[in-house]
Structure 1
Amino acid sequence: MTLKIAMWSGPRNISTAMMRSWENRQDTQVVDEPFYAYYLAQTKVDHPMAKEVLASQSNSWQQVSEQLSQTNYQQSIFYQKHMTHHMLDDIDLTWTKKLSHCFLIRDPMCVINSYVKKMPSVNSDDIGIKRQLQLYQQITDITGQDIPIIDSKDVLINPKGILSKLCETLGIDFDENMLNWPKGTRVSDGVWAEHWYENVEASNSFAPYKKPLIKLSEQQRQLAQENDYYYQQLYQKRIISS
């Protein structure tokens, strides 16, 4: 049986580097944001390469969720990189009961600071932090799982320590291959990689943590403060390395 792991993150949160980390295990297959086309089809939001995204994936959440939860794969681990804002309210989450879940969080000030470098405007729905807390509560109720939470800053400070504890929580062995990966693109990357993945394509490991230089407007700072409540609810439950 394949262990299906769903990692729930917002955008601009080392989520693609985390996907690289898992894909570098010999026993793991990954999928990149499988609900993205569904999200675009429903919301009509103006995203870079929207037409290409819509053409590359199923627009049906029912079809996607069935593939993610019911299909068996060749590898023993199937790692799913999910964006929380892609999970709109009309999705029935009962499919999540068949998966093991983890949450990847980041300070909303840092998320917004990075997001606005790629997109001209941002709102609370775009960064998905409130939705992340909702999904944590909903999926916990559905699965009964004590869902592990990791913070991106903690990962960058001590990747081996945090990933070792995460693997232990998920009932699998930590693999040293998770700490480094070859530079470049992947066949598994979504078609949107051309716009979003420049930095991770040039990487071969988690970058050492550096405090970001925050340059936000007053409105963007207020947005970060509004979302900090939801972030803190998750942050206090996060895995801490020894």
Structure 2
Amino acid sequence: MRIIMFSGPRNISTTMMRSFESRPDTEVRDEPFYGWYLKTSGADHPMRAEIMASMPTDWADVVEDLCSPAAGPAYVFEKHIAFHFADISDFGWLKGAKVLHLIRDPRAMVASYKNKYDDVRPIIDSYRVQRRLYKQSPAPVIDAGDILKAPGAMLRALCAALDMPFMEEMLSWEAGPRASDGVWADHWYDAVRASTGFKPYEERALTLSPELEEVAKACAEDYAFFHERRLTL
């Protein structure tokens, strides 16, 4: 079974990928459309050339790879950054898969993304894509803050919503890189590579510039929409 997670950037999405990869019955796919997104959008992301050289950049090739049946583990977990699909209307490649949405307080996302990349406006597109998909087909929603506050309980609830068994292995893993990590991990995954589990939740006072506050404000309505519909204990 394919499990497809849509998330914005800087939203514990890679930690969630680590969690699912820790299961003995699951393999993961790390942002398989990233190379295609860079090629078609022209976005000047860190390691752009290396990323495009490391993976397929043709839409049809990526879809065929994801949707082709193959013998393997019981579950395949796909991590997708939602803004990669801002200009896409064809989501037929989701057919037959279990979809979930990962959300986070936009102010926290903006602050974290700004530490790694200057243009934070794609966060707005991520929420808009996720909301459009949800309206077409409602799916489980989880908030990053809820996961960090109670990882075991929330993962059990998520697994139940996805019709899959929970496994204790999802709560811890060995530090270090993974062969499944995209080549962009050298820029983005320093904290995850140092981790051995879900970090404790921290309430942080954030001070954002007026420009960053405007981006967070533009996401507020969509975040509230999802927050009201998220899984709770």
TM-score norm. by structure 2 comes to: 0.96
Q: Residue 160 of structure 1 aligns with which residue?
A: 152
Q: Hey, what's the Cα distance between the residues in 1 that align with 2:231 and 2:164?
A: 16
- 1:125: how far off? 5.3
Q: Residue 7 of structure 1 aligns with which residue?
A: 5
Secondary structure, counterpart of 1:8 in structure 2? strand
- Say which of 35, 44, 47 aligns to 1:46: 44
Runs of 4+ in structure 1 deviating by more than 3 angstroms, as ranges, are: 124-127
Q: Residue 191 of structure 2 aligns with which residue?
A: 199
- 1:124: how far off? 4.1
Asked if the contact 1:112/1:127 (under 8 Å) is kept, the reply is no
User: Cα deviations across residues 122-142 of structure 1 (Å, max 9, x unaligned)?
Assistant: 21457612222122223x0xx
- Say which of 17, 20, 35 aligns to 2:18: 20
Q: Residue 53 of structure 2 aligns with which residue?
A: 55
Q: Match for 1:238: what amino acid?
A: R
User: Cα deviations across residues 70-129 of structure 1 (Å, max 9, x unaligned)?
Assistant: 332411100000110111424511121121111100111110010000112321457612
Sequence identity (%): 40
Q: Hey, what's the Cα distance between the residues in 1 that align with 2:202 and 2:172?
A: 19
Q: Hey, what's the Cα distance between the residues in 2 that align with 1:172 and 1:189?
A: 24
Q: Residue 32 of structure 2 aligns with which residue?
A: 34
Within 5 Å, give how 1:88-237 maps onto structure 2: 88-90=86-88, 92-124=90-122, 128-138=126-136, 140=137, 146-237=138-229
Secondary structure, counterpart of 1:104 in structure 2? strand
Asked if the contact 1:69/1:99 (under 8 Å) is kept, the reply is no
- 1:175: how far off? 0.2
Q: Hey, what's the Cα distance between the residues in 2 that align with 1:119 and 1:230?
A: 22
- 1:61: how far off? 1.6
- 1:207: how far off? 0.3
- 1:209: how far off? 0.2
Q: Hey, what's the Cα distance between the residues in 1 that align with 2:134 and 2:71?
A: 26
Unmatched 5+ stretches in structure 1: 141-145
Q: Residue 66 of structure 1 aligns with which residue?
A: 64
What is the alpha-carbon root mean square deviation over aligned residues? 1.4
Asked if the contact 2:124/2:219 (under 8 Å) is kept, the reply is no
Q: Match for 2:33: what amino acid?
A: F
Secondary structure, counterpart of 2:187 in structure 1? helix
Seen in structure 2, the aligned counterparts of structure 1 residues 4 and 166 have a Cα distance that, compared at 3 Å, is same
Seen in structure 2, the aligned counterparts of structure 1 residues 158 and 53 have a Cα distance that, compared at 3 Å, is same
Q: Hey, what's the Cα distance between the residues in 1 that align with 2:162 and 2:99?
A: 8
In the comparison of the two structures, how many residue pairs are matched?
A: 233
- 1:22: how far off? 0.2
Seen in structure 2, the aligned counterparts of structure 1 residues 194 and 126 have a Cα distance that, compared at 3 Å, is farther
